[in-house]
Structure 1
Amino acid sequence: MTIHKGNRPLVAEEGEFAAATSTLPVLQYYPARGRAEPIRLVLAFAGQAWFEPPPDSIRQIQAIQRLEWDGYPFRQLPRFIDEVQGEVDLVQAGAILRHLARKHDLYGGQPGDLVAAARVDMMLDGVAELRAKLREVVVVQQLADAAVAQYCGSVLAPEQQLKEHDMMGPGLASLEYVLANSRFSAAGWFVGPLPSVVDFAAFDLVDLHLAQPQLEGPVRERFPRLVEHHTRVAGLAGVREYLASDSRHAVVWPVDWIRAAAAGSGAARAAGGSG
């Protein structure tokens, strides 16, 4: 398997913004993990190489994505072009993940197993909801002490405490319960006898928590099955190589890259003006 290397991944430019390549799918996203990281994990596990446009191209895409609705109908990234002629050209991270799950038989069961597929869809939506809660405390609230304390007492509450909490929606205990009780898999995955797309989405969610010192301790202490699952996914062939490679972006949240890029552009303009 060949994955892009270095800070400026190679891309076969066919068109102004590398909308397609002659042989490989294109993943347009910021040089950060963000919502594209589960997509990268699935591609790595499936042994499917891909191209990502370099940062300069992403800056150009930023300038048009809110105006060019043919390629960016929801005015955002990621965008994934999976076919040579662009027949499969998608935005929305959840839609991209589900497409890849269908293509690579990662829907929790045999093709056509509607029960397993429905369970995978349900779990994916739950993970997405939890990810939104995490983004709120990390990106919006900037890990303020009060926000972290509230998050640890609600989203990261152990099972019994969560049952007594008035917070709407899931906590990490919801995922821990599915694994600990083998609800949809007797093999230690979330759904079915083999890894499914939800395993990679859940890995990313736990990985985001473990990357924050304020959250890592409670996660490791309260959700041992999720941590064990995270280790297991990290050891899968393809995923293991991707995580150890320089193909994995160091920046976790794209907003950090966007802010840094904007600050750099401002500094460059100021330097040019002062000259």
Structure 2
Amino acid sequence: MAVKTGYWNIRGYMQPIRLLLAHAGVEYEDKRYNVGPAPDYDRSEWLNDKFNLGLDFPNCPYYIDGDVKISQTFAILKYLGRKHNLAAKTEEEQIRVDLMEAEAIDMRTKWSTLCYNADFENMKPDYIKNAPVKLKEVSTFLGSHPYFAGQNITYIDFVIYELLDQNSQLIPGLLDEFPNLKEFHARIGGLEKVAAYLSSDKCIKYPFNGPMAQWGGK
């Protein structure tokens, strides 16, 4: 049975999963649900499927491979990390991955809060001011390592890549003062199968967010 994933027809929380699957060379059906226009933002495409997929906690994104049926972004990423040799291999690596996962969740929450807030324009200056402060910590943590676990690539690298990529669209030149993060971004985006995916018509370049977002949506 073919692997199937499901998410909204945006990059959002699904994009790191798509990048990981591309890197792992997995063929899969990428089900994309559309949301209707304002003011109703009709979600019937998803709601018609939601309770018919056999998911314990029906939500987007989801991943289905035979009897394996998972929702929640990091549950999916961790499973795929173990399955495709993209998980931590030592306790030291696990600690680094756990730390970056927690930081990524915080960063993504702040990003979503900004992008979906009706007060986006007033919040944007503070976000732009504070973004380099957080990235300095991330840059220091990465140090001279090629990947966030250390020498080995793991699922968390695809998460951080996507966060850096989306933030760089909002704040041009954001990575210029952090050469190691800029190199990391290029390293992940330059992985052979990831690069092929990013340049293909399978890859969603835009939108980043749903249509109700103040920035990055349709």
Q: CA offsets, 1:205-224, max 9 Å, x none?
A: 00111222xx123x133322
| CA distance in 2: counterparts of 1:201 and 1:228, whole angstroms | 16
Q: 1:220 aligns with which of 147, 167, 175?
A: 175
| CA distance in 2: counterparts of 1:249 and 1:72, whole angstroms | 28
| CA distance in 2: counterparts of 1:257 and 1:43, whole angstroms | 28
| Higher RCO structure (Cα 8 Å, ≥6 apart) | 2
Contact map agreement 2:54 2:69 (CA 8 A) in 1: no
When Rg is computed on C-alpha atoms for both structures, the one with the higher figure is 1
1:95 is aligned to 2:79: no
Q: 1:231 aligns with which of 182, 186, 190?
A: 186
| Residue of structure 1 equivalent to 2:38 | none
Q: CA deviation at 1:125?
A: 1.8
Unpaired segments of 5 or more residues in structure 1?
Answer: 1-21, 158-170, 264-275
1:117 is aligned to 2:102: no
Unpaired segments of 5 or more residues in structure 2?
Answer: 35-42
Q: CA deviation at 1:142?
A: 6.3
Q: CA deviation at 1:33?
A: 0.8
| CA distance in 2: counterparts of 1:243 and 1:132, whole angstroms | 24
Q: CA deviation at 1:28?
A: 0.7
Q: CA deviation at 1:233?
A: 0.7
Q: CA deviation at 1:114?
A: 3.1
Q: Return the letter of the residue paired with 1:193.
A: Q
Higher strand residue share:
2
| Residue of structure 2 equivalent to 1:206 | 164
| CA distance in 1: counterparts of 2:203 and 2:147, whole angstroms | 24
Count of residues in Structure 1 that have an aligned counterpart in Structure 2? 208
- Structure 1 147/223 Cα, relative in aligned 2: closer, same or farther at 3 Å? farther
| Residue of structure 1 equivalent to 2:207 | 252
1:33 is aligned to 2:17: no
Summarize the alignment of residues 69-84 of structure 1 with structure 2, pairs less than 5 Å apart.
Answer: 70-71=54-55, 73=57, 75-81=58-64, 83-84=65-66
Q: CA deviation at 1:41?
A: 0.6
Other structure's SS at 2:172 match: helix
Contact map agreement 2:117 2:213 (CA 8 A) in 1: no
Q: CA offsets, 1:179-230, max 9 Å, x none?
A: 23x4xx4xx2111322211111110000111222xx123x133322212210
Other structure's SS at 1:71 match: coil
Other structure's SS at 2:70 match: strand
Contact map agreement 2:14 2:73 (CA 8 A) in 1: yes
TM-score (norm 2): 0.84
| CA distance in 1: counterparts of 2:19 and 2:72, whole angstroms | 16
Summarize the alignment of residues 1-275 of structure 1 with structure 2, pairs less than 5 Å apart.
Answer: 22=1, 24-53=2-31, 55=33, 59-63=44-48, 65=50, 70-71=54-55, 73=57, 75-81=58-64, 83-84=65-66, 86=67, 88-109=68-89, 113-141=90-118, 143-144=120-121, 146-157=122-133, 171-180=134-143, 182=144, 185=145, 188-212=146-170, 215-217=171-173, 219-256=174-211
Percent identical pairs in the alignment equals: 26
Other structure's SS at 1:256 match: coil
Contact map agreement 1:108 1:193 (CA 8 A) in 2: no
Q: Return the letter of the residue paired with 2:9.
A: P
| CA distance in 2: counterparts of 1:69 and 1:141, whole angstroms | 34
Q: CA offsets, 1:12-69, max 9 Å, x none?
A: xxxxxxxxxx2x211111111110000011111111111122547x84323463x679
| CA distance in 2: counterparts of 1:142 and 1:247, whole angstroms | 33
Other structure's SS at 1:89 match: strand
- Structure 1 62/216 Cα, relative in aligned 2: closer, same or farther at 3 Å? farther
Other structure's SS at 2:211 match: helix
